[in-house]
Amino acid sequence: MRVHISQLVPGCVLLRDVNGKSGKPLFRKKTVLTEEFIAFLHAFLLEGVDVYATLADGSKFMPPKREQTAVKEMAGSSKSLTNEADPDNMTVIELYHFAVQQYEQLFRQWQSNAPVNVTQVKQIAQTLFQRLDDFTSIILSLPAFAKKANWPSHRSISLCIMSCYLGKKAGLTQKDCMQIGVAALLCNVGMAKMPSIPAP
């Protein structure tokens, strides 16, 4: 059966290969999905996959309704960007520092062994992408805004903006630009597990 990524649960078994943009498979058919694999599929912004009607343990798979999964994702995430402030009314510099603060909160959660919530990461990328044109005049100056204390967060936000900007200039679709932006935000996740973060 065909289901949306948000409807997947651990134990789902892939009916067909899941291919990436290159055409090469990200996951082979009959792969049993775990929470980590599902988060990986979310990061690639895939719409849906084909799975068997039974889970790996033999029980029947009953996909939750999309409305229920959307509510669950929102409940599991921290306060949204728009709930705390209105990015549309910020200057581009304020928006940059606001995004850094949001990412820094996530980074500290990862340091405390919290799982990576791709929905939250996407939200930051989407907010920045909506104001992407406003960054044109300062995009080459973004590294100058970085502070030594939390440089991984500054670096990730700068990479997200620059990657989306280059993708847009190259004529990529909004979805592809967003995928690049999310990848840029996730590139430093591994540093959260390091006992001490090296200086830039």
pLDDT in tens, 4-53: 888 899 999 999 998 876 677 888 899 999 887 887 777 666 778 999 99
What's the pLDDT tens digit per position in 125-175? 999 999 888 888 888 888 777 777 778 888 899 999 999 999 999 999 999
- How distant, in Å, are the alpha carbons of 66, 148, 155, 178, 194 from that of 181? 25, 23, 12, 5, 23
pTM: 0.58
State the SS3 of 48-81.
EEEECCECCCCCECCCCCHHHHHHHHHHHCCCCH
Predicted pLDDT at 75:
40
